[in-house]
Amino acid sequence: MGIRNKLFRREKENGSERPPTREGSPPDRLQCASPLDVAQATDIGRTREINEDAFLTLKAVVGTSDPPSPLALLIVADGLGGHAGGREASTTAVRVAARALITELLLPILMNETREMGRRPIQEIITEAIISANQSVSQIESDAGTTLTAVLVADHSAYAGHVGDTRLYYVTDGKATQITKDHSLVSRLVELGEISPKEAQSHPQRNFLYRALGQDPELEVDAHLQRLAEGSYLLLCSDGLWGSVSDQEMLEVIYEAPSLQEACNRLIDLANERGGDDNTTVVLARINY
């Protein structure tokens, strides 16, 4: 008994130790609550003729563990090219990436056969799924391309891979942090302090991406890892949203909307009110505990 107490005496000076029990784990009566909520919306906007955004959301709650753990796949792709090629590129990319991620990642987790998956790291699987999507998009007959951002939410972590300027934000504690880095020329110039974010909005090369699917057989994918706090959100959106709605406005909508779906709808409305000159897609996930 004495030994056990000693074992779990917390070393107060050593702040880097993680406490043995997870903070914020739900009291018993909330075992039936949903650990993760997902909502999504897409809109053609006010000036375009086709919606070249494509997306996929898939959510599962695995009740075989205690507490039940959430599992979700969120993917958004924004087709480039201006012709119908953009739509074909984005839908192909989403389908191919989703297929690989579901087969190689979601299924083993769901079937609790993580040893099968265990051979290959999560981020490698995500990167390879996006590279597969790149190959499929490259085979389309035009030189259309697409962005792609794919996020796997498992338990309290989000693993993401992305190419392009479709953004993933992590919203917690009243702050929105952009997780993905835009692969756009202007973003690099802002990063280097060459131009201000305001100048970036109207820069003539603001739509120029130096990395996208369907442009090059060799593709580098950016990987991200974000631990998720209780009550936090993940926002995945195409440039139709972030190009005309500020981070602060996004925050307000998310926190004030009566429901997650309502938040998605309102964000799209905002983008349309600002001119709607691009397609807009929004995916929102909330981590409940």
Partner 1 sequence: MSANDRKRSLLDRLKSAEPPQKPADETAQPPGESAPPPAGPPSDVPPAPPEDRGPSVVPDSGGRDDEFLSTGDVLQQRYEIRKFLSKGGMGAVYLAKDLRFPTVEKLVAVKEMISAIRDSVTSRISLETFQREATILASLSHVAIPKVFDYFHQERRVYLVIEYIQGTDLESLLAEIDYPLPQDNVVNWAIQTCEVLNYLHNHKPSPIVFRDMKPSNIMIRDEDQRVVLIDFGIAKVFQSGRRGTMIGTEGYSPPEQYRGIAEPRGDVYALGATLHHLLTRRDPRKEPPFTFQEHPIRDFNPSVTPEMEAVVMRALAYEAEDRYPSAEEMRRDLLAVLGTSQGTAPTRPSREERTPVWSFVCQHEIRSSPQVFENAVYFGSYDKSMYCLEASTGEERWRYATDGGIVSSPCVWNETVFFGSEDQILYAVYTRTGRIVWTCPTDGKIRSSPKEGYDHVFFGSDDHRVYALSAKSGQELWRFDGGGPVRSSPVVSGELVIFGSDDGNVYAVDVQSGEMRWKYQTDRAVQSTPTMAHDMAYVGSTDFSLYALDLDNGWPVWRFRTKGRVISSPWVSGNVIYFGSNDHHLYALDARTGTLLWKYATKGSVVSSPRVSNGTVYVGSADCHLYSLDGETGNLRWRFPTGGPITASPAIGAGLVYVGSTDHAVYALPTEQGD
Among 5, 102, 23, 124, residue whose Cα is nearest residue 57: 102
210 counts as binding partner 1 under rule CB under 8 A: yes
**Of residues 12-41, which lie at the interface with partner 1 (CB under 8 A)?**
16-20
For residue 39, the minimal CB distance to partner 1 (Å) is 27
Rank residues 54 and 160 by Cβ distance to partner 1 and give the closer one: 160
- 151-189 per-residue burial string, b: 16 or more CB within 10 A, e: under 16: bbbbbbebbbbbbbbbbbbbbbeeebeebbebbbbbbeb
3 binds partner 1 (CB under 8 A): yes
Pattern 189-208, partner 1, x by CB under 8 A: x--x-xx--------xx--x
**Ordered DSSP codes for 104-157:** IIIHHHHTT-HHHHHTS-HHHHHHHHHHHHHHHHHTSSSS-EE-EEEEEEETTE
Which residues, 129 to 168, sit near partner 1 by CB under 8 A? 154-157, 159
The single residue among 34, 58, 140, 222 that binds partner 1, judged by CB under 8 A, is 222
Q: Is 110 in the site for partner 1 (CB under 8 A)?
A: no
Q: State the nearest-atom distance from the C-beta of 43 to partner 1, in Å.
A: 27
Cα 55 to the center of its chain, rounded Å: 11
Least distance from C-beta 230 to partner 1, angstroms? 15
Q: Does 255 bind partner 1 (CB under 8 A)?
A: no
Cα distances from 221 to residues 8, 61, 91, 128, 131, in angstroms, run 42, 28, 19, 9, 8
Distances (CA, A) of 40 to 27, 101, 234, 285: 29, 19, 12, 9
Which residue of 115, 174, 198, 248 would you call a contact of partner 1, by CB under 8 A?
115
* Interface ranges with partner 1 (CB under 8 A): 3-4, 6-9, 16-20, 114-115, 117-124, 154-157, 159, 183, 185, 188-189, 192, 194-195, 204-205, 208, 210-211, 215-216, 222-225, 227
